A and B are shown apart, each in its own frame.
Chain A
Amino acid sequence: MSGRRMLGVGLAAALCLGAVWTAGDRYAAGVFCRLTLAAAAAVGLDLTLGLTGQISLCHGAFMGLGAYAAGIFAVRYGPAGLCMGLLCGMGLAALTAGGTGWFVLSLHGDYLAVATLGLGEVLRVVFENLPAGGGVRGLTGIPRTTGPLFCALLLVGVLLLAFRLKRSRWGRFAAAIGADERAALACGIPAHPVKVAAFALSAAVTALAGGLWAGMIGFIAPSDFAFTRSIDLLAAVVAGGPGHILGPALAAAGIEGLHILFQPLGRWQMLLYGVALVLLLRFRAGRRGHGVGRAHPQK
């Protein structure tokens, strides 16, 4: 236990040090923020995909929800509006996820994947047609208020929350549902409410990361939060190990880092990314079959 705590403190200290170290240089600070925010968003997705085993293909859109709420408020009311927007975005994402989740989460496996895919596309169309959102060209001129320290603190907070949740009674409920929903139901665990709550919470965390993203980059467009963003997050959780929290965070930072690293390669970037993803998946599959979230358990 104490080793675990020391690891946690060390990680938090390293993150804060990294934040202070990069704060001087604008480019380095931007890279640091992108890595930490991607990690925070992936931890958000891990709360639903990893713990309860419910797949989601719309977390990129939840990130966008947070980003647009924060961006619109910040453009209108300045830096103070950003905080309001962050809260607003989290609330909106939780409401959207909870509201649709209540109906959709009774679906299983691939059907759930499709329903969340649909939700993500609907949200993208909403972003494109928001009167205050600047349409397809995106929203510009958001005051750039979030710095690296802010992002580092957010990541530490999100990780802490996720670890506490995972070890709580509620987290064990969620893990039981992820392992075998029918068995969990038979033990008296209220599967449906727990799944909906996990989905809503995970959407809120991802939206928070999205809001800070808007405050850091200063420019957002609907294409930033399209299907590809959801794939990035999904790939991070699958590659990092669903339910491990720290693994998906590291994988997400790695994937974002790859995107930044491969940027000069232009159109080869995504090709290399795809190849790397296949190799990684095959490597993991070869080592052990991780049965989390099996779409169709074999009879």
Chain B
Amino acid sequence: MAAAQLACGLSLGMIYALIALGYTLVFGVLRMVNFAHCDVMMVGAYAGYFASRWFGWGLLPAMAAAVLCCALLGAAIHRWVIHPLERAGGISLLTGALAVSLILEYGMMALCGAQPRAFEGQFAGGVLHLGRLALPRDRMLVLLFSVAMFLLLEWTLGHTRAGRGMRACGSDRLAASLCGIQPARAGRTAFVLGSGMAAVAGVLYGGMFYLHPLMGAAPGLKAFCAAVIGGIGSIPGAVLGGLTLGLAETFATAFLPTALRDATAFLLLLILLLLRPRGMLGREERT
């Protein structure tokens, strides 16, 4: 019983972690909460769905199509909404992201209808046999992709020119621009990268559950909590936060009344913000 709960909680936590990575990346560079992230994830799920439906593509090509789609979408959002609003301050940026979220949700609803859809074939279901262990295939895929994305992001931020630019802008915008780094460009890179990762999460999440224009809202909010719990802006923090949240939620469902399940994430968040406002792995901000 406890072992099954543990496995379930881990895989749930890894999805949250995968989504949380996108939040934390954009926050780390632009210092804004990208409320549209979960809806970019939804668009990614739909892109993957149509790629597999119309062209009969398998998991990897469909996912690549979704990533391309979402990367373009991310660039567009940054170009037309986020970048023009950067001067106007935090609350305008936040409201702008919320507006984008509405546009994506209801635009998708107007285009594709509100009925839920489900992936077919190799995306969903299936059992993976490892020796005597039988593991659900989609959950293992989530685990695999999350780890891959985490490593990819760490490598990008640590070892590429664009990644170093993003980190520099995150720690001090003015100093970075004095060193010849364009903050606008770093912001766009972060948006494109984060949106691409949202597409990966979207295809996997859509495979585990179902597709709906509002599908991003619930996991998006929780993944965001995960990012904050782990310390927003910190990449390992996002993974740790996601896992903590997934486990807490699974065990809360097992041992507490079900009504409390959805509140668990937010109660955990409130408690943690009070005890450690910068999150588990967050650093104290220089002032």
Q: Give residues in A with beta carbon < 8 Å to B.
A: 49, 55, 100, 103-104, 106-107, 109-111, 113-115, 117-119, 121-122, 125, 128-129, 227, 231, 234-235, 238, 242, 267-271, 273-275, 277-278, 281-282, 284-286, 289-296, 298-299
Complex-state Cα separation, A90 to B274, whole angstroms: 25
Quote the shortest CB–CB distance from B89 to chain A (angstroms). Answer: 4
Given the known interface contacts A111-B228, A114-B273, A294-B90, the answer about A125 and B85 at a Cβ–Cβ threshold of 8 Å is no
Could you say which residues of chain B place their CB within 8 Å of the CB of A292? 89, 91
Quote the shortest CB–CB distance from B232 to chain A (angstroms). Answer: 8
Quote the shortest CB–CB distance from B200 to chain A (angstroms). Answer: 24
Given the known interface contacts A282-B84, A285-B88, the answer about A271 and B269 at a Cβ–Cβ threshold of 8 Å is no
Could you say which residues of chain A place their CB within 8 Å of the CB of B274? 103-104
**Does B126 make an interface contact (CB < 8 A)?**
no
Name the residue of chain B whose CB is nearest to the CB of A266. Answer: B110
User: Can you give 9 A-B contacts (C-beta < 8 A)?
Assistant: A114-B33, A114-B269, A128-B259, A231-B98, A274-B107, A278-B103, A293-B90, A298-B173, A299-B172
Find out whether the CB atom of B106 lies under 8 angstroms from the CB atom of A119: no
Find out whether the CB atom of A277 lies under 8 angstroms from the CB atom of B99: yes
Complex-state Cα separation, A234 to B105, whole angstroms: 19
Name the residue of chain A whose CB is nearest to the CB of B274. Answer: A103
Set A115, A274, A278, A291: member contacting B269, Cβ < 8 A: A115
Name the residue of chain B whose CB is nearest to the CB of A268. Answer: B110
Find out whether the CB atom of A122 lies under 8 angstroms from the CB atom of B263: yes
Complex-state Cα separation, A109 to B92, whole angstroms: 12
Q: Count how many chain B residues have C-beta atoms less than 8 Å from C-beta atoms of the other chain.
A: 51
Find out whether the CB atom of A293 lies under 8 angstroms from the CB atom of B89: yes
Q: Which secondary structure dominates where chain B touches chain A? A: helix
Interface residues in B183-236 (C-beta closer than 8 Å to A): 217, 221, 224-225, 228, 232
The total number of A-B Cβ pairs within 8 Å is: 155
Find out whether the CB atom of A289 lies under 8 angstroms from the CB atom of B266: no
Complex-state Cα separation, A291 to B87, whole angstroms: 9
Could you say which residues of chain B place their CB within 8 Å of the CB of A106? 277
Pick the 8 closest A-B CB pairs, nearest first. A295-B90, A274-B102, A285-B88, A274-B103, A118-B266, A277-B99, A270-B106, A271-B106
Find out whether the CB atom of B89 lies under 8 angstroms from the CB atom of A294: yes
Find out whether the CB atom of A281 lies under 8 angstroms from the CB atom of B88: yes
Find out whether the CB atom of B33 lies under 8 angstroms from the CB atom of A281: no
Complex-state Cα separation, A267 to B105, whole angstroms: 10
Set A122, A231, A293, A298: member contacting B266, Cβ < 8 A: A122
